Amino acid sequence: MPQSIDPEQLYQRMLEVANEDGIISEDEQALIDNVRANISKYFQILRDSFEDKIITEEEQYEMYESRKRILEEALQVAKGDEKITQDEFKLLSTIREILQEMEYNENY
């Protein structure tokens, strides 16, 4: 498993983005908490997949679906109050970037 990825560092990165304006709103915290839980599940999938050093098609699909689910659930949390603030949008963009980094590190 790639050593450059750490779930706690990703969580801290989300907190930093949310706190750029000095305030982490309840909506931002809910979004961060949701993603943190899902990323933890994703990392477990990664650990399990990399354990035998062979990534099967089924494992690739499971990783893809997990990443997709993270983004979809994050978007639903952000839309919970029927609006997405600029801060939430920036946080969603960061989450997408994190997932892209994870995907890159997972495959290369």
Predicted pLDDT at 48: 85
Predicted pLDDT at 89: 92
Predicted pLDDT at 28: 92
Rounded distance between C-alpha atoms, residue 105 and residue 108, angstroms = 5
Predicted pLDDT at 53: 81
Q: Give mean pLDDT in consecutive 10-residue pieces for the chain, a chain of 108 residues.
A: 65 91 92 88 82 86 90 92 90 86 60
Predicted pLDDT at 23: 92
Predicted pLDDT at 3: 46
φ, ψ at 61 (rounded to 5°): -65, -40
Q: What is the b/e burial string over 12-29, where b = at least 16 CB atoms within 10 angstroms of the residue's CB?
A: eebeebbeeeeebeebbe
